[in-house]
């Protein structure tokens, strides 16, 4: 195989971790390309020139690569269903290179089973692992198991720096909480109460949610224009007192806004605001799930911060495969921009295909 004649634009895009359109603009010197994207593409092109038979040798070796993906059960949470779509897309894109991706799912309400699942993953002898380590304490022994077997792993959604991963893909969650606070504070000219809701999650073992709340609180500690009380609630929809807790919160006449730390919880909070006719309470939440989009378009949700779970998983697998197949070093941290979606820009954003 002559790589100079047979390499496709999509192959360069895959190696560089950018879109086909970006590679096309670089090759034909047309349109705008960021410095970072230009560097990625030219680096891959240089690498191909330096090692012209790189892909040919890889394909000719008949080496198959097994990737294991550990994610929460996508059938019970639409956020993780989006993650699963990213895994499925990655599998389809890399199949021609002899890559298979096996998905292992766990119950977000059964932390004790997580380490057992990690053992199960190891028994399949994967070449690499991508995972969303939403359980902090339970993930630490899993990382140790992977390191003992010299299996590289990439994290997404939740970063645990001390785990020494090959790389992390996600967002700066402290800044995410700060953005939520800034959005909820826009146009607020009177003192009042803001609520932080953690719905259907064990926040005490979920550092990604704690980081969001920490950033939210830090923003108001630094911006004290008006006096605001911040209250936080850890709510379980299966708890018999769930309805009463939310109704008591909404009965507070000083309540100015609600910040929900999870995408699934966002629609739950929105449904209660709609039920009680509380359109004057600002609601900030996460992600472009169908239910959230419905409430955004109707004006119940004011702002959604998009975490792009599908692309997190897709890029995580891409980095891992590039490391295994082509010995490319993965970025130690790839942080997505904090995209704020409103009623006015949602259709143009969805129509752009960049989500």
Over residues 311-327, the pLDDT tens digits come to 999 999 999 999 998 88
What is the structure's pLDDT at 353?
64
What is the structure's pLDDT at 6?
59
Section 124-150 average pLDDT: 94
Question: What's this model's pTM, rounded to 2 decimal places?
Answer: 0.80
What is the structure's pLDDT at 328?
83
CATH class of 173-306: alpha beta
Strand-pair partners of 168: 155, 333
Q: Select the more confidently predicted residue: 83 or 110.
A: 83
What is the structure's pLDDT at 235?
66
Q: Examine the pLDDT at 342 and tell me if it is beyond 70.
A: yes
Angle, vertex CA 106, rays to CA 105 and CA 109, nearest 5 = 150
Section 147-155 average pLDDT: 96
**Domain spans of the chain?**
9-52, 64-171+309-336, 173-306
What is the structure's pLDDT at 66?
96
Least confident of 109-123, 143-157, 224-238, 275-289: 224-238
What is the structure's pLDDT at 141?
93
Write down the CATH number for the domain with range 9-52. 1.10.260.40
Candidates 3.30.70.1150, 3.20.20.150, 3.40.50.2300, 3.40.50.300; CATH matching 64-171+309-336: 3.40.50.2300
Q: What is the rounded average pLDDT for all residues in the chain?
A: 87
Cβ proximity of 305 and 339 under 8 Å: yes
Angle, vertex CA 88, rays to CA 65 and CA 6, nearest 5 = 60
Q: Examine the pLDDT at 205 and tell me if it is beyond 70.
A: no
Q: What phi-psi label fits residue 60: left (phi over 0), alpha (psi between -120 and 50 degrees) or beta?
A: alpha
Give all strands (DSSP E) within 112-254, no chain letters.
128-131, 153-156, 167-170, 192-199, 228-235
Q: Is it true that 64-171+309-336 and 173-306 share their CATH fold? A: yes
Quickly state the pLDDT bin for 1 (edges 50, 70, 90): very low
- Cα-Cα-Cα-Cα dihedral of 280, 282, 285, 287, to 10°? 70
């Amino acid at each position: 195989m002559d790589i100079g004649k047979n390499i496709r634009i999509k192959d360069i895009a895959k190696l560089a971790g950018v879109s086909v359109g970006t590679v096309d603009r670089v090759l034909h010197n047309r349109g705008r390309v960021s410095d970072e994207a230009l560097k990625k593409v030219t680096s891959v092109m240089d690498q191909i020139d330096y090692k012209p038979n790189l892909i040919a040798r890889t394909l000719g070796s008949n080496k198959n690569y097994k990737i294991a993906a550990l994610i929460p059960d996508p059938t019970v949470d639409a956020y993780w269903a989006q993650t699963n779509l990213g895994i499925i897309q990655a599998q389809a894109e890399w199949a021609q290179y002899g890559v298979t991706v096996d998905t292992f799912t766990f119950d977000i309400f059964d932390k004790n089973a997580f380490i057992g699942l990690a053992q199960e993953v190891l028994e399949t002898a994967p070449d690499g692992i991508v995972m969303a380590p939403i359980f902090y304490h339970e993930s630490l022994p899993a990382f140790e198991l992977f390191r003992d077997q010299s299996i590289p792993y990439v994290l997404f959604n939740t970063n645990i720096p001390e785990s020494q991963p090959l790389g992390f893909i996600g967002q700066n969650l402290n800044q995410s909480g700060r953005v939520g606070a800034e959005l909820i504070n826009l146009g607020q000219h009177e003192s009042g109460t803001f609520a932080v809701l953690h719905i259907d999650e064990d926040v005490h073992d979920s550092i990604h949610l704690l980081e969001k709340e920490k950033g939210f609180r830090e923003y108001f500690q630094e911006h004290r224009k008006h006096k605001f009380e911040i209250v936080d609630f850890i709510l379980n929809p299966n708890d018999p007192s769930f309805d009463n807790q939310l109704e008591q919160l909404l009965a507070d006449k000083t309540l100015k806004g609600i910040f929900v730390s999870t995408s699934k919880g966002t629609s739950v909070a929105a449904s209660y605001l709609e039920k009680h006719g509380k359109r004057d309470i600002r609601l900030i939440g996460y992600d472009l799930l169908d239910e959230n989009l419905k409430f955004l378009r109707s004006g119940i949700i004011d702002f959604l911060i998009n975490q792009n779970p599908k692309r997190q998983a897709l890029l995580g697998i891409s980095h891992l495969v590039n490391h295994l197949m082509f010995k490319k070093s993965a970025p130690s941290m790839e942080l997505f921009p904090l995209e704020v979606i409103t009623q006015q820009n949602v259709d143009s954003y969805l129509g752009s295909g960049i989500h």
